[in-house]
């Protein structure tokens, strides 16, 4: 259930040391110095996604072209050149044709301390994509071009991977998140551009197709607690129930087996809620005697070979969008009231949170990082969640106290069992929905900047 040790965990340890010295700068939190985005009543999150035919045409292209139709996209037209790529996880060097597309500059409505990119793409065998982001600081200078992911739906051409050790001394990429190193300085990221590089086997007509690319920029204030919200709806969605713990010990090469598969298990529950599932051919590689082989499949195809885990947020969203006519995004949501709007429109939400054993009544465990799905609300406003950290599929449905839930999910700072200050996700979540949502679903998604 926990995200494995990584540079993000190293940062958390550094935060604990800072807390002992009387200063804390969480990677998911803004500074005590208030910026306009952190003012009362202002939005704390900005979403911008490129997905329409016009979006693709307005970018800067070198060898790519926009494709119109029911689901517009970006493809290779004529390669801009060739490049050699040495896969750090296999040691194999291969030559690829490539083409690029760079987005227009997006000036965020929220001068941000964090930016998380996510994308939807189809990458047939023999193709892959690289996603980069370059930000501009509030002092007028720019970040380098940071790699936010090297991604393919499969794992035979390259190993999908995040890239460590990217920093300019003022901002750093922590697996899937670009974070300011010292939010207390008042420095912010005020705008950014995204760059896509599409790769294919030389001499072929293969191409990736990118349907959606964008990012969530945010400035969430430091907080151990959040204001309570008033219950609004009572509804429960019929989401399939899968336990990650059913798969303990299976395929340990993917993050030590099912014990750590909360993210792909949650993703698979929501994918199947929307009526999609892997084919028998897709599952042919899974041992035939295993229950729920689609969970093993999800773990394999969300696995980040650098992070050495299945919990890379954008990789999970990208996996969901490999299914027919599915869209996805990683974002932050400001309150349970917005989650209620989504659920009421028929859209479940996958949330990321950390908590001590005693902070979430009925969970029976504590975690430094865990994904589960919000599928509804009781008449009293409590959260109905499919929690994959359960002993069996039948035990996955839980009802958690509203006040406890919203606090552990939306806070940016918390104490661990030793009393040290650690970071919280500040409302990070995954949203998956069909490319043809209902009018009501589209309105809710649009209100959050996602459609």
The yes-or-no verdict on residue 9 having pLDDT over 70 is: no
Residues 19-48 have a mean pLDDT of 44
* Interval 192-251: pLDDT, tens: 999 999 999 999 999 999 999 999 999 999 999 999 999 999 999 999 999 999 999 999
* Interval 81-102: pLDDT, tens: 999 999 999 999 999 999 999 9
CA gap 363, 359 in Å, rounded: 9
CA gap 157, 94 in Å, rounded: 9
HSE at residue 444, side-chain half, CA atoms within 13 A, is 20
The yes-or-no verdict on residue 7 having pLDDT over 50 is: no
Q: What is the pLDDT of residue 42?
A: 52
* Interval 244-296: pLDDT, tens: 999 999 999 999 999 999 999 999 999 999 999 999 999 999 999 999 999 99
* Interval 303-354: pLDDT, tens: 999 999 999 999 999 999 999 999 999 999 999 999 999 999 999 999 999 9
**What's the pTM?**
0.92
């Amino acid at each position: 259930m926990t995200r494995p040790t990584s540079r993000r965990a190293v940062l958390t340890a550094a935060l604990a040391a800072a807390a002992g010295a009387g200063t804390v700068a969480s990677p998911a939190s803004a500074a005590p110095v208030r910026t306009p985005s952190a003012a009362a009543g202002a939005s704390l999150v900005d979403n911008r996604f490129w997905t329409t035919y016009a979006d693709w045409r307005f970018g800067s292209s070198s060898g790519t072209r926009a494709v119109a139709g029911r689901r517009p996209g970006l493809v290779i037209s004529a390669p801009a050149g060739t490049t050699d790529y040495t896969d750090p996880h296999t040691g194999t060097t291969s030559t690829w044709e490539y083409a690029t597309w760079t987005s227009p500059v997006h000036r965020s409505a929220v001068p941000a301390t964090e930016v998380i990119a996510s994308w939807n793409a189809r990458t047939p065998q023999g193709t892959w994509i690289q996603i980069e982001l370059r930000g501009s600081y509030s002092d007028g200078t720019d970040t380098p071009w940071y790699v936010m992911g090297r991604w393919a739906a499969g794992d035979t051409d390259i190993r999908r991977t995040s890239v460590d050790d990217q920093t300019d001394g003022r901002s750093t990429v922590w697996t899937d998140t670009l974070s300011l190193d010292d939010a207390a300085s008042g420095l912010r990221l005020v705008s950014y551009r995204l760059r896509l590089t599409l790769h294919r086997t030389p001499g072929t007509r293969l191409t990736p197709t990118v349907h959606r690319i964008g990012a969530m920029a945010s400035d969430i204030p430091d907080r151990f607690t959040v204001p309570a919200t008033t219950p609004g709806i009572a509804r429960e969605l019929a989401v399939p129930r899968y336990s990650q713990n059913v798969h303990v010990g299976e395929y340990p090469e993917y993050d030590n087996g099912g014990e750590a598969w909360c993210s792909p298990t949650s993703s698979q529950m929501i994918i199947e809620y929307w009526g999609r599932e892997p084919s028998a051919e897709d599952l042919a590689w899974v041992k035939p005697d295993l229950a729920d082989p689609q969970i093993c499949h999800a773990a394999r195809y969300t696995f980040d070979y650098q992070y050495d885990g299945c919990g890379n947020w954008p990789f999970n969203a990208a996996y969901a969008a490999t299914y027919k006519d599915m869209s996805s995004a990683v974002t932050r949501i400001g309150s349970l009231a917005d989650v209620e709007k989504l659920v009421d429109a028929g859209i479940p939400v996958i949330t990321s949170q950390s908590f001590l054993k005693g902070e979430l009544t009925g969970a029976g465990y504590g975690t430094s990082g865990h994904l589960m799905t919000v599928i509804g609300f009781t008449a009293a406003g409590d959260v109905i969640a499919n929690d994959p950290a359960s002993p069996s599929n039948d035990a996955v449905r839980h009802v958690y106290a509203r006040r406890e839930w919203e606090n552990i999910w939306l806070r940016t700072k918390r104490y661990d069992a030793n009393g040290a200050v650690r970071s919280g996700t500040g409302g990070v979540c995954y949203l998956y929905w069909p490319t043809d949502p209902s009018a009501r679903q589209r309105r809710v998604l649009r209100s959050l900047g996602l459609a």
